[in-house]
Amino acid sequence: MAVIDCTTALSYLGRSAGFTQFLPGFEGPELIEFTGRIMAVQVPAPGTGVECAVLIQFDEPGDFMDFVDLETLVSFSPC
């Protein structure tokens, strides 16, 4: 389901983008839309359980950051 991979994500470091994330939920799946800046890219290492993810600084009050697994993204649009 990923619309962006680690290699592509690295080229967007420091840039803002819009995202849509698919999250399974107790009452059914949920699509969450948000915007933010890609601050870091977590690249998987062979033989480990680490998956490709991006650290997003969200454009919301508080400007908090969190890692988003690239496999959960269904839409990515750079600004």
5-52, pLDDT tens digit by residue?
Answer: 998 999 999 999 999 999 888 887 899 999 999 999 999 888 888 889
Task: List, edge to edge, every strand of the sheet that includes 53-58.
Answer: 65-69, 53-58, 30-42, 16-23, 73-78
Torsion angles phi and psi, residue 23, rounded to 5: -125, 125
> Does residue 76 register a pLDDT over 90?
yes
Q: What pLDDT score was predicted for residue 79?
A: 85
pLDDT band at 2 (very low <50, low <70, confident <90, very high): low
Q: What pLDDT score was predicted for residue 60?
A: 79
Enumerate domains of the chain plus CATH numbers. 6-78 (2.30.30)
* Chain centroid to CA 3: 10
3-state class of 65 per DSSP?
strand
